[in-house]
Structure formats: structure tokens, C-alpha cells
Structure 1
């Protein structure tokens, strides 16, 4: 089989001339149709159009004969190729292109940053008095209301509110001290 470029004016065999004529007549509309189906991915659209024309070549379905219209057949083949391509991508693990590795590194950095932040907060909590630590654990970490925390701690609700206020002030000061010590 002699391979030639579709746009080549030197197509020698009748099949090559028929394929070239087929491409010139239906190629732009087929490309636009496939491009729209692929959401604007020009490279994949070109591949689908090329595969569609290759199947025309292999089936020797290059001209309208015996009442079979080539254009609808080509559009159906292209549509099926797009669907097959989509299904294949869904069945395989997610592909990583060259742009996503930086995002992956930043996700890992976020995890490390979160872990370091939790260590810093834990150290700041240890600098608080036991009463302030207890009230913060009951209200923020256990996600309880001040009334529920008061019942759990056995103190009045007003005391819980007061301790939360002063505990947060002390925690803020401890965190600022750690920042100054780290700098």
C-alpha cells in the first residue's frame, strides 16, 4: 500500500484520489463536528478524523455506491470513535499530564504544612493552664455548646464563656511567642 499525504496533489491511484476528494468534501465538516464533541481538543479531533478516513480507506468505502451515503457513515464512525476514546479514558487510571505534577507537590506541601501547624498548636495548647486547655477541648475540639461544656466540666456556663475568652487570648499569645522564637 502506497502511503501518501491526503492533501498531496500527487495521489496516483484511484483510491488515493477518491480519499483526497472525500477529505476535501467532508473533512472540514467532520473535523468541526468531532472538535465540538471533544470540547475543543484539536489534537484529538485530528486523530479521530484521521482514524475515520483510515477506516474509509480500509473498507474501500470511498465513494457513494449502492445507495449508501458516505457522509453519514463517516460521521457515525467518528462519533463511535469519540465514544470509544472516552470510555477507554474512563476505564484507565487517571492520566497525569506535565502540568499536574506541580499541583501534586503543592498538595503534599499542604499536608506537611498542616501537620507542622498542628504540632505548633499542640505546643501552644500545652503552654495553657489545665482549666483553659479543658475548656478549649470541650468547646472547640469536642464541638460542644457552652452549656454542654459547662455540664461536662461541672462549672457554670458563664465560667466556661470567661475561660474560653481568656484561653483564646493566652493561646494567641503563645502562638505569637512561638513565631518570635522561630524567627
Structure 2
């Protein structure tokens, strides 16, 4: 890749990664598609016409169409709450469904500086990405390009090889589909960062102490707990608390939590103590916090997710 070409396209690599993630719902697949986008752009560099489109628009056209090709014949990436109703049995078998292509979280470390993360906060919420996955791929692309990235309808039509009328029609259908699939939490105002940090800090202290009552006290009435790749999910304080009692009975009651962030939301990596006195990586937990408390915890137990967040598999004893 020559220096001039690299200088023109590299500034867009990070935002293209976020775009491909929104389309695909998996970080490793998004990284592969960005690489594919850069390769296709390199091969087509002599045909690029700056009079027709900016470099950014040209790259988005390549990336979007690469994503649409990758999504052909593919199942959507859901969360457990998108597959059926909540469980009322806290002792149900925790059998993973490894045949389901589960939605994955996005590490905030890949988003750039804090100002950029703040800009992306609303459009990267995990629940919103999950709702987008329920849309047909072309509707998903139109929604992202028009409502998230704010490309004009005519430009999106050029990107997708469609007419502006077709783009506007697809956008209306996508908005209607998103409204039907998107959780209520997306319409609720978020507390300020200080209030969010306070809730997460209290959750961490309660979890490390295996304090179920302390955890439950932080939850909203309709709090959701879900745990891909296990297809179960639980709704409400009581169900959440009874499952946590089961977890602490199954695992050690000594834990260490490491703060991180995913999808511009607070997250923690949970480590449980092993027989050697160290702590073994157990899960990545991504929180949704409302003004009235913690409303959702999506708990990931997936080696690919751990790798994307560069989480150490083990912490030594304190």
C-alpha cells in the first residue's frame, strides 16, 4: 500500500470498524470486513473519481456492500432476550447454545478518544445494536447510513445502487421495525456519568462480597439478566437475585472485578478465585444504568469476546 493511498484512507479505519460492527454485530467479523474494504479500495484506487464522491463516501460504499455480501444467507446475531420469553427457574440448566451466532459487545478501547466515545454513545448501545440485527440487512444499512451517519438520501442511493425513493421507503420500514424491536430502555434518559459510576462501583463492591441483597438493591424493578451463549434470561429483581444466589453457591464467593467499557456503556470483567489463590476470568458484564438503577446486565462468556477486550485469563492473588 503506497504512502499517499494509506494517508488518504487510514484516517477512516476506526469509523469503518464501528460501521461494520453495527452491520454485523461481531468485532472479529467487522475487523475482517475493514481489511477487505481496504484491500478492495487499494485494487480500485485508479478508478476512484474524487469528482463523484469523497474518499469517506467511497470507502463507506465499499464497506457497506462488503457487509451486505457477508450477510447473505446468514442468521441474525441475537441476545437471549430476542429469542423468547424470560425463564422463571433460577436452577435451569446452563447449557450453552453454541450453534447460535450471538451478538458480541464492542470494546470502547477501539473507539478512540473520550470525545469520540461520547459522540457514539447513543448509537452504540448494545440493546440498540441487537434491535438493528432484527432488520433485513439492506434496511439495516439504510438506517445506519441515514439516521446514524446522516448521509443524504441521494448519497445513500448512490452507495447502494438504488433510487432515493427506494432508500426513503426502506428507511421508513427500518424505523418501524426498530420501533417494534427496540427495548423501552432506549427511550429513557441516562443518568450523568458520575451517577452511573456510583451505581457500578456499588455493584462491584456487592459482587466481590457475594452480597446478593446489596446487588438486588441496585436493580430496577424490571431489571434484565442475560448470559450468551446460554439462551436463558431473567426478568425482575427477584429472578435476578435468585440466580445470583445460585451462582455464588456454584462458584467461590471470592471475586475480583475489573472495570472496563463496551458499546459506550460501563462494563466489568469478573474473576472468581481458584484453588491456587489466584483469580480466573469468568465473564464480561455490560451494564445499562437508568436514573432509578441498574436495568440490564448482559453477561458474556466467550473466548472471542475476552480476546477482543484483551482481558487477561488470570489475575494473581492480591
Normalization by structure 2: what TM-score? 0.22
**Larger relative helix fraction:** 1
User: Relative contact order (alpha carbons < 8 A, sep ≥ 6): 1 or 2 greater?
Assistant: 2
- State the structure with more CA Rg: 1
Whichever structure has more strand as a proportion of its residues is: 2
